[in-house]
Amino acid sequence: MRNRSVTYSREATFQALADPTRRAVLDLLRRGSQHAGQIAGVFPVSRPAISKHLRLLRRAHLVREHREGRHRVYQLNPEPLRAVDKWLEHYRTFWTMNLTSLKNFVEAEYARETGKQSLDRPAAKNVKGEN
Amino acid sequence: MRNRSVTYSREATFQALADPTRRAVLDLLRRGSQHAGQIAGVFPVSRPAISKHLRLLRRAHLVREHREGRHRVYQLNPEPLRAVDKWLEHYRTFWTMNLTSLKNFVEAEYARETGKQSLDRPAAKNVKGEN
DNA sequence: ACTTCGCGTAACTGTATGGTTACGCATTAT
DNA sequence: ATAATGCGTAACCATACAGTTACGCGAAGT
């Protein structure tokens, strides 16, 4: 048995998601596996182009491929997307914020911008160095 | 009420998130606004490099900039990330799947990897809430 | 065996991007 | 006024990548 909680590279994942075609491929595969030809048939670009997208998606572990006769079947593997979800979590709080916390935020902002500091502004992190 | 439902280009957003440095900049700005120099000071690349990253982030509306004396202050704007969150939502269901649908998925998976099909890994995959 | 699919890969092109250094232009400090 | 800061931009590299066409190889048909 294979402990499948591998830590896929966040890097490759975000990278793979950067292209709209690739995202569309994932969206397509959500509805079920497809073979390369079918996938290519859906998009307005050449088959080799899709082939390369699939390669990237494979590299990012967002899809798995296996042969089936002379077809290459591609299957979605949503697992790496968890990392993205995780990353997003930090930001989700921003738009889930209630007015109170929002107030804090804006206040801190305002304080910082105007010079007076009524809040944190972690000076400890003040990385100077070379600018 | 703010009706802040501007439709930022999903495209530009995903695009902007593709680079680790830019993601790091966002992570940094989550702690509060910073001016260009401060931001640049944190990273091991040149200031102009950061300047260009900031330009991309600006273009994606992920940050806002305003002058303050001779500083350019950058502020996080998490709004566009909502689109990403929204997109991810479709996939989130995959890892919140109930055992039935999960069974299909894992079964195919397992069968493929080993050749047999007995499905004894649901526990390993079974991550309901968070991780 | 011969032909036809299905599909990845090679080779090549144009463009975006990440980084660098040089520079220019405001804003501040002296 | 002059010097020093802060920071974007221009001009240049190298690399990645989206697309294309040409090609090759294994699986299916006939």
- The count of C-alpha atoms lying within 13 angstroms of the C-alpha of B33, restricted to the half-sphere facing its C-beta, is 24
Mean pLDDT across A45-73:
96
B69 CA, C27 C1': separation in Å?
6
Average pLDDT over residues A15-29: 97
Alpha-carbon dihedral B47, B51, B57, B59, rounded to 10 degrees: -170
Average pLDDT, chain B: 80
Nucleotide nearest residue A131, measured CA to C1': D6
pLDDT band at A98 (very low <50, low <70, confident <90, very high): low
* Average pLDDT estimate for A24-31: 97
| Gap between the Cα atoms of B69 and A107, Å rounded | 20
Q: Is residue A38 within 8 Å of residue A47, measured between CB atoms?
A: no
CATH number of the domain located at residue range(s) A10-78 in this protein: 1.10.10.10
Q: Say if residue B52 is exposed, middle or buried (CB neighbours under 10 Å; 0-12, 13-18, 19+).
A: middle
End-to-end CA distance of chain B: 34
Asked if the model's pLDDT at residue A66 lies above 50, the reply is: yes
Of A2-6, A59-63, A82-86, where does mean pLDDT reach its minimum? Answer: A2-6
More confident residue, B23 or B131: B23
pLDDT bracket for residue A102 (50, 70, 90): low
- Of A114-128, B39-53, B85-99, least confident by mean pLDDT is A114-128
User: Are the CB atoms for B71 and B35 separated by under 8 Å?
Assistant: yes
% of chain A at pLDDT higher than 70: 69
- Residue A96 has a pLDDT of 75
Contact A23, A84 (CB under 8 A): no
Distance A53 CA to D30 C1' (A): 35
**pLDDT higher than 90, residue B110:** no
Confidence of residue B104 (pLDDT cuts 50, 70, 90): low
Partner-chain contact B31 A125, CB within 8 Å: yes
> For residue A16, how far is the Cα from the chain centroid?
8
pLDDT of residue B114: 46
Chain A residues with beta carbon closer than 8 angstroms to that of B11: 20
* Cβ neighbours for A74, distance < 8 A, ≥ 6 positions apart: A25, A29, A33, A34, A35, A36, A39, A54, A57, A63, A64, A65
Q: What are the domain boundaries of chain B? A: 10-78, 82-125
Nearest-10 Cα torsion for A35, A41, A45, A51: 10
pLDDT surpasses 90 at B63: yes
| A vs B: CB pairs below 8 A | 101
Say whether residue A5 is in contact with chain B using an 8 A CB cutoff. yes
